[in-house]
A = this chain, B = another copy of it.
Amino acid sequence: MTPAPARVGDSVDAIDTPALVVDLTAFEHNLARMAAFAAEAGIGLRPHAKTHRCPAVALRQVAAGALGQCVQTVGEAEAMVAGGIGDVICTNQILGPSKLDRLARLARTARIGLLVDSQEGVERASQAAVAAGAEFDILVEIEVGMGRCGVAPGRPAAALARRVADAAGLRFRGLQAYNGRAQHIRSATGRRDAVARAAQAVRETQAALAAEGLTAAVIGGAGTGTFRHESAAGCWTEIQVGSYVFMDREYAELEDESGRRAPEFQHSLFVLAEIISTPSPGRAIANAGLKVLTTEQGRPLVFDHPDIEVTGVSDEHAVLTGPSGAALALGQRLRLIPGHCDPTVNLHDWIVAVREGRVEEVWPVAARGASR
């Protein structure tokens, strides 16, 4: 693990760059806003730890009313349970026997769920749970428009649920109905229509489950781009939002029903960088590249400086273009808004949490790199 880039109590000017920084005021606004939404809507909130990989963030989400966490990998589940989270759903297909053994060991001391979309998945999860003397909650993952994992909705899903209900060591808890593609449709009507189709698939599956004598106590899904639509649809019981705590460039570019960009969450996550070269007026080079932020969903934006554009990103550099002036002077610090927060956080060992110019906390990204 790399040394932390700051100490509690430091001025923000003393943070070594490049560093991942969270503005606590914006972060707490986001936490509170989503918690209030879920409470008012009467829907469960289970934020996704794939966004932060950081127990310090997860604990704050749970303190604000979240049921627990979602994770995507066994390593993330281990970090969350070790960090004090007692209720975790792994929203993924886990097939490797050694991974299932690790998950089953966790299930001795925490409530652990996972997804299945195949008979093989049911059998392997059952074997691991029985061997560990533990039980898994199981959600049957149904395909609702994402084109990734998931069994067909309706009778195929209900048939798999029956196998889960009959398997030793497994508790059939419900359905996973997540359409990641819907999160990234820029227009609000496009997102709403995609969720409506997913809701139809859920209802069809609920009917098929009823014919099997089964009920889905949990229906999970939704993300930062669509959670209001899933909540309004009435069939989901838990929203699995992740990015709302940090917000990245892409989510901020989603449009509301009137076609405007009016994000209800604030950018709280930044890569703090410093200008190390000023080769010509209006052009500068900052010490933040592909190893501290990812660009597959767009280059970063420069916070507080909409007139400065990131026109290139290489391994350790960002090329900045804008008007000549102090913001592009040697040694100047800038906050970059990542294009995509989840893989960007995963590049860092530490999140420096700041408020009003001071470092208030330094959080380890405990599950950084934990993709196994």
Contacts and interface: CB of A to CB of B under 8 A. Distances in A.
A83 interface: no
Quick one: copies of this chain in the complex? 2
Contacts of A50: 315-316
B369 A2 contact: yes
A106 interface: no
Given A95-B274, A316-B50, A290 B149 contact: no
Interface stretch (A23-31, A33-41, A54-62, A345-353): A345-353
B369 A348 contact: yes
> Which of under 10, 10 to 19, 20 to 34, or 35 or more describes the interface residues of A?
35 or more
- Chain A binding surface SS class: loop
B330 A95 contact: yes
A5 B372 contact: yes
A221 interface: no
A163 interface: no
A372 B17 contact: yes
Interface stretch (A169-177, A229-237, A276-284): A276-284
A74 to B, nearest CB: 10
Interface string A334-355: 0000001011001111000000
Given A2-B372, A50-B315, A148-B285, A343 B290 contact: yes
A340 to B, nearest CB: 8
Given A75-B2, A120-B330, A372-B19, A92 B296 contact: no
A300 interface: no
Interface string A61-76: 0000000000011010
B285 A149 contact: yes
Interface of A: 1-3, 5, 16-19, 50, 72-73, 75, 92-96, 98-99, 117-118, 120, 143, 147-151, 180, 274, 276-279, 285, 287, 289-292, 294-296, 312-317, 319, 330-331, 340, 342-343, 346-349, 368-372
20 contacts: A1-B1, A1-B369, A16-B96, A17-B372, A18-B371, A50-B316, A92-B276, A117-B279, A118-B330, A147-B319, A148-B285, A148-B314, A148-B317, A148-B319, A150-B277, A290-B294, A290-B340, A291-B342, A291-B369, A296-B313
